[in-house]
């Protein structure tokens, strides 16, 4: 194996492929990054039996071959190199790397012990890359982080014709984002539960090109795997990950069909007020929100402890209502909404609030965030 490649494109691709390497690999070879050099260019791959990453790059290949080296070490080295072409070659049981006057020699790992990467399922359709990245970022806001409840650490992707729905919940809140896409089969309906962290990292990393291809098998070959592919500087990047097992809760029915109070508030003003008032909120206590006479009053703290109160203008349609929420969960939902004005819809004080952007453009997709109230201290 011997090749020359542009330093920036190589550094970016190595860093991208190495980002999903396990911190504590079950076997040493899983800490490796596989380098395949052929007449078609360069392929960099990582795989931990759950998630795979594969980047293809244009390179000047003198000798075909493959090598397995420590992925994180290679990423650190390449990132620090001067802005000159990178030359790599197999040198016995080691790999030599030269860039300008900098020279490194890396020990290789046994490439024959490296697992075969899973095949990409057949393409299901394509979606605009920046829209997909933004939608995923909104959806994962409500995903659980408790590994004892693995089903809730995922995002449920539901594909129904030309619409994708993303759903996530940690039992205390629920996010729902819809977006349009271009399916290969117009009437296909399929669903998958994808690890939220992998989905978020992947969507964010595939914005260099205009589109992302989503590959999900409803049945047969590729079952249990979802794949994402998009253009990147110098080539193409592809990620596959195993789907989570288990039944995602039927959460759509949690969104109420009607509301009795609708409050419209400037988002920036509300976010700043929540941040200030929450400074005196003890851990696991709520920030109180009272909606009355065109004013939203926020309160936190009680008794002999520090207290805070602040008012924000609000347009209130319906009955007065006083409720309370975990301030961080409230802020998470507010910041995930992109519109400058937010709507908070209530049925009653003891029931969840549904938050959304005011005047949303349906053609761009819709985002809703449902948040359970917290008991207020008397």
41-69, pLDDT tens digit by residue?
A: 999 999 999 999 999 999 999 999 999 99
CATH of domain 123-242: 3.10.150.10
DSSP string, 11-52: HHHHHHHHTT--SS-SSGGGGEEEEEEETTEEEEEEE-SSEE
More confident residue, 377 or 155: 155
pLDDT tens per residue, range 181-223? 999 988 888 999 999 999 999 999 999 899 999 998 755 444 6
* Distance between CA atoms of residues 60 and 1, nearest Å: 11
* Distance between CA atoms of residues 3 and 13, nearest Å: 15
For residue 374, the model assigns a pLDDT of: 87
DSSP string, 118-140: PPPPPEEEEEEHHHHHHHHHHHG
CB atoms within 10 A of CB 208: 13
Query: For residues 120 and 215, is the Cβ–Cβ distance under 8 A?
Result: yes
For residue 364, the model assigns a pLDDT of: 53
Structure tokens given for 315:
């347009």
pLDDT tens per residue, range 335-369? 999 999 999 999 999 999 999 998 755 445 699 99
CATH of domain 255-371: 3.10.150.10
* Distance between CA atoms of residues 251 and 236, nearest Å: 36
- Where residue 269 falls (left for φ over 0; alpha for ψ -120 to 50; beta otherwise) is alpha
Where are the domain boundaries for CATH 3.10.150.10 in the chain? Answer: 2-113, 123-242, 255-371
Q: Which residues neighbour 372 within 8 Å (Cβ) at sequence distance 6 or greater?
A: 172, 173, 325, 352
Structure tokens given for 357:
């952007």
Query: For residues 13 and 78, is the Cβ–Cβ distance under 8 A?
Result: no
Query: For residues 85 and 4, is the Cβ–Cβ distance under 8 A?
Result: yes
For residue 339, the model assigns a pLDDT of: 94
* Distance between CA atoms of residues 111 and 95, nearest Å: 13
Phi, psi for residue 295 in degrees, rounded to 5: -135, 135
* Distance between CA atoms of residues 281 and 301, nearest Å: 5
* Distance between CA atoms of residues 357 and 215, nearest Å: 30
Q: Cα dist. 184→119, 121, 209 in Å?
A: 19, 13, 19
Instruction: Map residue 148 onto helix, strand or coil.
Output: coil
CB atoms within 10 A of CB 187: 8
CATH of domain 2-113: 3.10.150.10
Q: Which residues neighbour 326 within 8 Å (Cβ) at sequence distance 6 or greater?
A: 172, 284, 286, 371, 374
Structure tokens given for 368:
């809703």
**Rounded mean pLDDT, 371-375:** 89
Phi, psi for residue 87 in degrees, rounded to 5: -110, 130
The DSSP secondary-structure symbol of 117 reads P
For residue 285, the model assigns a pLDDT of: 87
pLDDT tens per residue, range 206-265? 998 999 999 987 554 446 899 999 998 888 999 999 999 999 999 999 999 999 999 999
């Amino acid at each position: 194996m011997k090749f020359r490649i542009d330093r920036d494109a190589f550094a970016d691709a190595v860093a991208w492929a190495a980002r999903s390497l396990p911190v504590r690999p079950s076997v040493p070879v899983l800490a490796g990054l596989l380098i395949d050099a052929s007449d078609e260019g360069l392929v960099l791959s990582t795989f931990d039996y759950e998630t795979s990453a594969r980047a293809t790059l244009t390179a000047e290949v003198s000798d075909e071959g493959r090598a397995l080296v420590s992925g994180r070490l290679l990423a650190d080295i390449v990132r620090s190199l001067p802005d000159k072409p990178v030359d790599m070659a197999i040198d016995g049981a080691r790999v030599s790397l030269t860039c300008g006057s900098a020279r490194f020699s890396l020990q290789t790992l046994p490439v024959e012990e490296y697992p075969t990467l899973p095949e990409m399922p057949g393409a299901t359709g394509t979606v605009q890359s920046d829209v997909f990245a933004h939608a995923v970022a909104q959806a994962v806001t409500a995903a659980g982080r408790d590994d004892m409840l693995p089903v809730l650490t995922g995002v449920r992707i539901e594909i129904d014709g030309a619409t994708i729905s993303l759903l996530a919940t940690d039992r205390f809140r629920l996010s729902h984002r819809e977006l349009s896409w271009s399916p290969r089969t117009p009437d296909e309906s399929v669903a998958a539960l994808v690890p939220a962290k992998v989905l978020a990292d992947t969507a964010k990393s595939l914005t260099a090109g205009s589109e992302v291809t989503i590959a999900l098998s409803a049945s047969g070959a590729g079952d249990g795997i979802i794949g994402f592919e998009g253009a990147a500087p110098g080539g193409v990047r592809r990620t596959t990950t195993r789907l989570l097992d288990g039944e995602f809760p039927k959460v759509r029915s949690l969104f109420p069909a009607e509301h009795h109070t609708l409050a419209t508030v400037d988002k920036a003003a509300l976010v700043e007020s929540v941040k200030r008032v929450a400074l005196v909120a003890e851990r696991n206590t709520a920030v109180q929100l009272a909606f009355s006479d065109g004013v939203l009053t926020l309160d936190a703290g009680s008794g002999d402890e520090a207290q805070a109160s602040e008012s924000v203008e609000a347009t209130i349609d319906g009955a007065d209502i006083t409720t309370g929420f975990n301030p961080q969960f409230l802020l998470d939902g507010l910041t995930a909404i992109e519109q400058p004005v937010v709507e908070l819809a209530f049925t009653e004080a003891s029931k969840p609030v549904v938050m959304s952007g005011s005047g949303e453009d349906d053609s761009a997709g819709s985002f809703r965030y449902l948040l359970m109230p917290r008991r207020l201290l008397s």
